[in-house]
Amino acid sequence: MRRTAGFVLNSLPIVIVLASGRGARFLASGGTTHKLQAALGNKTVLKHTLDAVLQSGLPWHLEQADHPHMGDSISAAVTSTADQAGWLILPGDLPLIQAETILAVAGALREHEVVVPMYFGQRGHPVGFNTSCRQALMNLQGADGARLIIAARQSVELPVTDVGSVTDIDTVTDLQRAERIFYSRPKLQMAN
């Protein structure tokens, strides 16, 4: 552990898995359960995401408390894990995310303030923030999440080849697309 600005820091960044949303768009699109509890193969969407986090070996925090917006969820999670050496913000609805992508973002945080994975030009997750972003993350509110922090800080775009970093589940159609990817890639099935 190391000390900085009054905090004792753990040596690894923590993965914050956001699972606070209501999943209203999924239900409105014909879903019969919360999107995080929807089945993908023999597991729920959230279980797939958590399994990838566990495979990364990084510390993690599941934020499930009822918050009105993503910014509020991030703020609560970072506040409760303020002693960490950085934060990787990962929505719980990314069931195809790979542990290697999580580790790549964590590794890039050693050299950069904010790390945004990019899948062939598309912004993905998890987005990493080093300790210089702590107070700004703790002050977040509202539906924009951490977009303003990313725009205001020196962020780096990290190229990744993980389609799971951009395959979020917001609607039943999204889940069907994720199923096609899941079943067409045996490597993903075995890893998850």
Q: Is the predicted pLDDT of residue 8 greater than 50, yes or no?
A: no
For position 14, what pLDDT does the model report?
A: 97
The terminus-to-terminus CA distance of the chain in angstroms comes to: 32
> Is there a contact between 149 and 110 (Cβ–Cβ < 8 Å)?
no
Residue 107: which H helix or E strand, with range? helix 99-108
Residue 110 confidence class, pLDDT cut points 50, 70, 90: very high
Model pLDDT for residues 160-186, shown as the tens digit of each residue = 999 999 999 999 999 999 999 999 976
Find the angle CA(101)-CA(74)-CA(146) to the nearest 5 degrees: 75
CATH superfamily name and code, 2-191: Spore Coat Polysaccharide Biosynthesis Protein SpsA; Chain A (3.90.550.10)
More confident residue, 46 or 7: 46
Model pLDDT for residues 27-86, shown as the tens digit of each residue = 999 999 999 999 999 999 999 999 999 999 999 999 998 888 899 999 999 999 999 999
Q: Is the predicted pLDDT of residue 103 greater than 50, yes or no?
A: yes
Cα 37 to Cα 101: distance, rounded to the nearest angstrom: 23
Cα 38 to Cα 31: distance, rounded to the nearest angstrom: 8
Q: At what angle do helices 45-56 and 99-108 cross, to 10 degrees?
A: 50
